[in-house]
Structure 1
Amino acid sequence: MAPELETAHSRTFVSHLWQVAAAISVSLFALAAFNPSMSDDAKPASAEDKNVLRVCAAAKELPYSADDESGFENKIAKILADSLGRKAEFVWSQKDAIYAVRDQLDKNLCDVIIGTDTNDPRVLTSKPYYRAAYVFIQRKDSPLKIDSFDSPDIVKANPIGFVQGTPAETMITKLDLYNDNINYVSSLTNFKDKRNSYTRVPPDRMVGEVASGKSELAIGFAPEVARYVKANDALKLTVIPDNNVRDDGQRVPFHFDQSFAVRKDEKDLMAAINTALPGIQKKIDAVLKDEGIPFEAPQPPT
């Protein structure tokens, strides 16, 4: 794994170096002065306040997080904070969430990240609170029957939307479908140069193009796309089985446990989170169900 990068399933991509950041405006800085949620350019006033849980959060990364607190991870953060007897204070970043560890958590601007892959080596992670999968997205009226990468109809789907650097790309390449679809995938990001940067494929656009018939299939991480599939009655999603292998026989995981993350030296905070988890699991499940995310119980430790 490249240093300072999070994994694909946590909406961050192992093979990319994402270095694009938006500047924070003076007006946002001023707003943070009296708003309990802070920008990443403002020093949180509550750094030592144990009545507050400082949450690393992206300001513009729906459906996960947004500065109007409409992201499903914003809701989970509030549930967690309440269970700890604290108030959630969102420390907003205008950058992609891939930089949350490097630019927020490691700099002690915030204390917890929501939705990190379990056992991420850069941080201390909690017991997993759900297991999420990649999914196929199709129109309900599609004549193509696709429920795995072994489905014969998958080679008939054209074009296919997927995100580079994810397990989906590995399997698309194995099926020799990459060259047939890469131009379409690039068009989803307006052909922006990916060298030393990451341009997020807008999940609502990828889903919307399946709905409109512009593409026949899309492959996405369920937490990222479920909201937009749920909102369109013409669409369906199918969980991709977790039994995929590369040409060389190496397993390609498509299901991933998700955890809360804190700095490695925050053992007391992590212990408190793990203690609180059983009592809030049903509330977290309710948020995921309302979002339309298909999820499984986490895998037992190996």
Structure 2
Amino acid sequence: MRLNWRGLLSAFGLLALLGASPSVAQTMPDLVSRDRLRVCAPPANMPFSDKAQQGFENKIAELVAGELKVPLHYFWMPEGPGFVHNTLLSDMCDLIVGYASESDLVDHSNPYYASTYVLVTRKGGPLDGVNRLSDPRLKNAKLGVIAATPPVDHLMALGVYDHVKSYSLLVDRRYSSPAEDALRDLAAGENDAVILWGPIGGYFAKVAKIPLTVTPLVTDKRPQFIYRIAFGMRRGETDWKEKLNAIIRKRQKDIDAILESYGVPLMPIAAAPIDVGRRERSGPH
């Protein structure tokens, strides 16, 4: 989703070429490596990826590398405008682990999961059980939402945006985490509920210090909040695409287990819209 929601990169363009640290240079690799799995990923983007390789996309990349029987190699770059061009399309890697299906920017594998936006509330609170943004109980509620994400337009159309606290979309996740900020405000009572992309909301709610309820928003139809996520790759690499699709078919249950262990709310892949044209990723959404 992902909606090309990425962190500010104008100030980090040089660092993207040098790597996550200005003192460590990354050399330009050969095109389409067959002796290692080259993955491009943000270095601080939990629950998706980080340099310690603790994110669920890191775990899925390890699974793919294991099936291919090659070592795993990362090219790290913070997310933001130009991420795809400066990584995958510049031949710095051969794979982006999480990419919205049907996006027209790159080619993609078959989807390996679908998820949805969620409403996060305090467990046992007055908004427990709310499962749609049109619920009358949200009319005067204090809502936290990430700016410029699909729920914003929906809230505006419903006329409930006056009570919304907006959190920045364009951030560098090495230094800021809007979703965590919104959930801290929820714990402090400054928000009554927070609307987040499911993998983000599910993960941070799972590790929160207070009990939280994560409710998938699957009854709101306009816009639909469910998106299908696949592997992203360059166009025209048919053999590579077939290999990835074969791995998905063989290891789908293992991939599901990884996602579920991170609290990702999984939806039936067939339930997601076909033509989304958007990229869902980490933190800023």
Letter in 2 for 1:297: P
1:19: Cα distance to partner? Answer: 4.3
Q: What is the number of residues matched between the two proteins? A: 264
Alpha-carbon distance in structure 2 between the residues aligned to 1:152 and 1:90: 47
Give the direction of change, closer, same or farther, for the CA distance of 1:235–1:75 in structure 2 (3 Å limit): same
Q: Which residue of 2 aligns with 1:280?
A: 251
Normalising by structure 1, what TM-score? 0.79
Q: Which residue of 2 aligns with 1:164?
A: 147
Query: Is the 2:145–2:195 contact (alpha carbons within 8 Å) kept by the matching residues of 1?
Result: yes
Q: Which residue of 2 aligns with 1:124?
A: 107
Match of 1:110 among 86, 89, 93: 93
1:49: Cα distance to partner? Answer: 3.7
Give the direction of change, closer, same or farther, for the CA distance of 1:272–1:265 in structure 2 (3 Å limit): same
Match of 2:171 among 187, 199, 217: 199
Q: Which residue of 1 aligns with 2:234?
A: 263
Q: Which moved more, 1:114-123 or 1:47-56?
A: 47-56
Match of 1:240 among 201, 211, 217: 217
Letter in 2 for 1:236: T
Aligned-pair Cα RMSD in Å? 2.5
Q: SS of the counterpart of 2:269?
A: coil
Match of 1:221 among 197, 205, 208: 197
Query: Is the 2:56–2:258 contact (alpha carbons within 8 Å) kept by the matching residues of 1?
Result: yes
Q: SS of the counterpart of 1:296?
A: coil
1:32-66 deviations in whole A, cap 9, x for unaligned?
6xxxxxx5xx323x645412010011012122111
List aligned pairs for 1:91-102, cutoff 5 A: 91-93=75-77, 95-96=78-79, 99-102=82-85
Query: Is the 1:11–1:224 contact (alpha carbons within 8 Å) kept by the matching residues of 2?
Result: no
Alpha-carbon distance in structure 2 between the residues aligned to 1:138 and 1:104: 37
Q: Which residue of 1 aligns with 2:207?
A: 231
Alpha-carbon distance in structure 1 between the residues aligned to 2:3 and 2:56: 14
Letter in 2 for 1:231: V
Match of 1:155 among 139, 152, 161: 139
1:105: Cα distance to partner? Answer: 0.6
Query: Is the 1:83–1:276 contact (alpha carbons within 8 Å) kept by the matching residues of 2?
Result: yes
Give the direction of change, closer, same or farther, for the CA distance of 1:98–1:62 in structure 2 (3 Å limit): farther
1:276: Cα distance to partner? Answer: 1.5
Query: Is the 2:39–2:75 contact (alpha carbons within 8 Å) kept by the matching residues of 1?
Result: yes
Letter in 2 for 1:50: R
1:71: Cα distance to partner? Answer: 1.3
Query: Is the 1:83–1:280 contact (alpha carbons within 8 Å) kept by the matching residues of 2?
Result: no
Query: Is the 1:226–1:291 contact (alpha carbons within 8 Å) kept by the matching residues of 2?
Result: yes
List aligned pairs for 1:134-149, cutoff 5 A: 134-145=117-128, 146-149=130-133
Give the direction of change, closer, same or farther, for the CA distance of 1:125–1:210 in structure 2 (3 Å limit): same
1:244: Cα distance to partner? Answer: 2.3
Alpha-carbon distance in structure 2 between the residues aligned to 1:26 and 1:279: 34
Match of 1:294 among 237, 262, 265: 265
Alpha-carbon distance in structure 2 between the residues aligned to 1:276 and 1:223: 22
Q: Which runs of 5+ in 2 are unaligned?
A: 275-285
1:293: Cα distance to partner? Answer: 0.9
Q: SS of the counterpart of 1:106?
A: helix
1:265-298 deviations in whole A, cap 9, x for unaligned?
2211111101121111111111111101110231
Q: Which residue of 2 aligns with 1:10?
A: 2
1:199: Cα distance to partner? Answer: 3.0
1:156: Cα distance to partner? Answer: 2.5
Normalising by structure 2, what TM-score? 0.84
Q: SS of the counterpart of 1:295?
A: coil
Q: Which runs of 5+ in 1 are unaligned?
A: 1-8, 33-38, 246-251
By relative contact order (CA 8 Å, sep 6+), the higher-ranking structure is: 2
Letter in 1 for 2:117: Y
Alpha-carbon distance in structure 2 between the residues aligned to 1:48 and 1:144: 50
